[in-house]
Chain A
Amino acid sequence: MKQVDMKKIFCVYLPLIVILLFILFPFYWTLITSVKPEDELYGTVVTYWPRAFTLESYRKLFTTTVNFFGAIKNSFLVATMTTLVSLTASTLAAYAFSRYQFAGRKILMCTFLCNNMFPTVLLLIPLYSIMRKMGLLYTPTSLVLSYTTFTIPFSVWLLLGFLNDLPMSLEEAALVDGCNRGVAFVRIILPILGPCLVATGVYIFMTSWNEYTFAVMFTNAETRTIPVALKSLIGQLGVQWDLLTAGGIITIIPVCIMFFFAQKRLVEGLTAGAVKG
């Protein structure tokens, strides 16, 4: 018995602890950096547990010229709009792909799948020139539109997996009872699909909240989102690490909370296609 326990410690717990240390250490370091006073942060000795706690950096973060609070508002606006637009469009499309056989179905599905493969920079550059011509540059709309380039194809793919797992007989029963398809969709499919829609929505929200490449080119000081604001904390005089780490912690808290609630369903959706394949 003792021998088995030792084996488990060496083959499971020990490697697990090593990998987890590697994965989690950067977050730990970011967190304690954000609560260290400045003299300790840039002192000669590196401390692994702060000698003094302070929330000064969080207070300073919201009073700098960067307008971090504005960036949080912009990020919320952009991520919420992107989620609403992408989720509506992709739920309808995924339902059509899953429940109807129609001319052009295969080619359209292939198109959506191909979109996941496009280099970001290939879209970034023409979109920049188009947004500029249309006068949309530096507006939240330009970001919402550019984010749909990757959120819609990915959500269609995710939702299609969820919908294909729901038996047809569900709606057929409703159709027999005299409902039309629209009513059957709203009354039967949507409620069952609810948790999957939430998971997909969380995924869309997360990716738009985190996106940087488009955001840095399509926003200015007033419309910038959190990732861009974080980067702009790096000024001419070097990096203010206490502010930056405090901003980082604030950035990941909302996505982490959402992810923990949605992770089970999201993982199911992500893995469904690949595991079957």
Chain B
Amino acid sequence: MVKKRTIWPYVLVAPAVFIILCVVFIPVINAIIMSFQNYDLRRPKEIAFNGFSNYAAACRDPLFWGSLTRTIIWVVCGVGFQFLFGFILALLLNKEFKGRGVVRAVSMIPWVTPGVLIGLMWRWIYDGNFGVLNDLLLKVHFITDKIPFLSQVTTAFPSVIVTIIWQGIPFFALMLLAALQGVSTDIYEASDIDGASAWQKLILITIPSIKNTIFVTALLRIIWVANSVDVIFNMTEGGPAYSTQTLSVYIFNKGNALNLGYASAMALLMAVLLLFVAVPYLKMNFKEEV
């Protein structure tokens, strides 16, 4: 590490810092200002400061509270099952078998698929008339009538949650697999001599050894899943009757409707909530930095 006083590091970071200042910091300040304004682009003549009205409106807005609740369910169920299946997949991929490399690469495809396409592919699978899921469930006599999964209030939200789980399994598997490969085999050999069962090995050795990776990956996924708009928007646009509208989707819909003041206020509230998740992540990252 060079400690001598020189301007070079500043010159090197300048382009990145300049871009980030322009596209992140100025916009965030802008958002803060807009959140205290009656800023509706459909009524440009009425743009004026209105104090905390937008925040007060959010507190009184049943749709805000409803979408906040749904965001929590969305994140907890989504990330929870992504972790569960991702972990199982990672454990399986950590075993020796023929074609492991190919299987590993292929199972990552959902991760590189655009959210729009994911939303649309699943929308077609869930389709009430020609959907393959209905056909499969009818064939095994699980249901007797076709279900319009995405257009009834009771089934729409669980259906989009299944989709986000599907999307997130690869990333979890990828990160956990790398961690598993770093666990030394000596410990397992020693536990074999002590007569540990496979289950004991999993609980007492594997999980404690990779708990940092689990933690970091889960925090990253929580933030990404909470922020995701494209999957829900392309499956249901938040409907039917707002039953799939998470906070991100609600803010996005308000933004699309050009009510930028109210949307900014809600986006800032959401950012504050996400800080509770982000702070432990940042702490983890800087603990190792000297």
A residues near B (Cβ < 8 Å) are 8, 12-13, 15-16, 19-20, 22-24, 26-27, 29-30, 33, 41-42, 46, 48, 85, 88-90, 92-93, 95-97, 99-102, 105-106, 108-130, 145-146, 148-149, 152-153, 156, 168, 181, 206, 209-213, 217, 226-228, 230-231, 239, 241, 244-245, 248, 251-252, 255-256, 259-260, 263, 267-268, 270-271, 273-277
A96 touches which of B13, B27, B267 (Cβ 8 Å):
B13
Given known A124-B255, A206-B112, A259-B108, contact A248–B284 (CB-CB < 8 A): no
B260 touches which of A123, A125, A209, A260 (Cβ 8 Å):
A125
Q: How far is the CA of A148 from the CA of B124 in the complex (A)?
A: 33
Nearest opposing residue in chain B for A42, CB measure: B130
Contact call A245/B124, Cβ cutoff below 8 A? yes
Say how far A67's CB is from chain B's closest CB, in angstroms: 17
Contact call A263/B124, Cβ cutoff below 8 A? no
Contact call A99/B175, Cβ cutoff below 8 A? no
Contact call A100/B8, Cβ cutoff below 8 A? yes
Contact call B109/A217, Cβ cutoff below 8 A? no
Chain B residues touching A, range: 35 or more
Q: How far is the CA of A256 from the CA of B114 in the complex (A)?
A: 11
A33 touches which of B124, B170, B287 (Cβ 8 Å):
B124
Q: How far is the CA of A217 from the CA of B258 in the complex (A)?
A: 10
Interface residue? B34 (CB, 8 A):
yes
Given known A129-B34, A217-B255, A252-B114, contact A29–B132 (CB-CB < 8 A): yes
Contact call B34/A125, Cβ cutoff below 8 A? yes
What A residues does B286 contact at CB under 8 A?
106, 110
Contact call B227/A19, Cβ cutoff below 8 A? no
What A residues does B188 contact at CB under 8 A?
none
A120 touches which of B22, B227, B268 (Cβ 8 Å):
B227
Say how far B112's CB is from chain A's closest CB, in angstroms: 5
What A residues does B278 contact at CB under 8 A?
114, 117
Nearest opposing residue in chain A for B17, CB measure: A108
What B residues does A260 contact at CB under 8 A?
105
Contact call B16/A93, Cβ cutoff below 8 A? yes
Contact call A96/B8, Cβ cutoff below 8 A? yes
Stretch from B48-56, B199-207, B212-220 contacting the other chain:
B212-220
Say how far B65's CB is from chain A's closest CB, in angstroms: 17
A156 touches which of B16, B27, B124, B127 (Cβ 8 Å):
B16
Contact call B28/A227, Cβ cutoff below 8 A? no
